[in-house]
Amino acid sequence: MRTPPLPLEPAVRDPRKLRRTALILVVIMITSAVGILYSYFKWAEKEANNETPAFKGRIEKNFKVWRQDESEGDFAAMDGEVYVIAPVVFSDPAGWKTTRAVLERLAKRYADRKDFHIVSMTIDPEGESPAKLKGYAEELGATLPQWWLCGAREESVHKFLKNNLKMEIYPHRKDGKWIYDGSLVLIDRDRHIRQATRKSSKVKRDAVVFNFEQAAAWDAEGRTAGLEEGKTNVQTLEDMLVKAVDHVLSKPVTQQ
């Protein structure tokens, strides 16, 4: 014999309890949101004070060149070492006057480091043969293995600079003059492209391009915004480059 079902009555909801529950949930959500936002700003502020060079990309493929002594060089030979690449037109010394002075100081500063190199790559390999590079190297006092003056097929060089080094301008001629991005590119032991960063606000850092000709132009214009008293744009940028180089030199190889 079945027990007859008990009569069910609809639950009576207490509006006051419902409002209290809803209020508690809202408070919890607001508190959580505030906590997350606070944690984010603390993290962002910490990152803004982090001067570790930023990553821009990585050289994934080897690149072979000819050098000032007419020998073949390849970038894979520098794996595990640190180097800067400077695109230049040697026959136009005015176009990289400031960059040249920076490179000469780098060569002196790291003269005793066998794991640091300078790679000056000609934008105009058809007009600047290995024989001409030898003459430019003698003028600069650039000797292997520290300082490479090098080139490759014109198309290969231009594609390498644009596609691998992420340069802003694809090299080309305009009115008989080479137009190119002459910024220095810093490569770490793992073939990563590294950039210095500059604090632009309490919670943000901006990547810095090592364009010394632009910095010199700013100095000529008298631009001093953001500079320490008594320092020029070129000096400030060079200090940042040296700090970035010192940082990557202090780190071991981490990728196989």
DSSP secondary structure string, 214-246? HHHHHHHHT--TTPPTT--HHHHHHHHHHHHHH
pLDDT tens readout for residues 119-144: 999 999 999 999 999 999 999 999 99
What is d(CA 111, CA 174) in angstroms, rounded to the nearest whole number?
37
Give me the residues paired with residue 64 across strands. Answer: 74
CA-wise closest residue to 65 among 120, 11, 27, 107: 120
Q: What is the pLDDT of residue 25?
A: 80
Q: What percent of the chain has pLDDT over 70?
A: 85
85 burial type by CB count under 10 A (0-12 exposed, 13-18 middle, 19+ buried): buried
Neighbours of 188 (CB within 10 A): 23
Confidence of residue 62 (pLDDT cuts 50, 70, 90): very high
Angle at 124 between CA 120 and CA 129, to 5 degrees: 80
> By the 8 A CB rule, do 219 and 231 touch?
no
Angle at 135 between CA 138 and CA 108, to 5 degrees: 25
Q: What is the pLDDT of residue 198?
A: 83
| Domains and their CATH numbers in the chain | 55-194 (3.40.30.10)
What is d(CA 180, CA 247) in angstroms, rounded to the nearest whole number?
28
Q: Is the pLDDT of residue 106 over 90?
A: yes
Confidence of residue 10 (pLDDT cuts 50, 70, 90): low
Distances (CA, A) of 37 to 56, 99, 129, 175, 200: 28, 43, 59, 54, 20
Q: Is the pLDDT of residue 6 over 60?
A: no
Mean pLDDT, the chain, rounded, equals 88
The single-letter DSSP state of residue 123 is S
Statement: the pTM of the whole predicted model exceeds 0.85: no
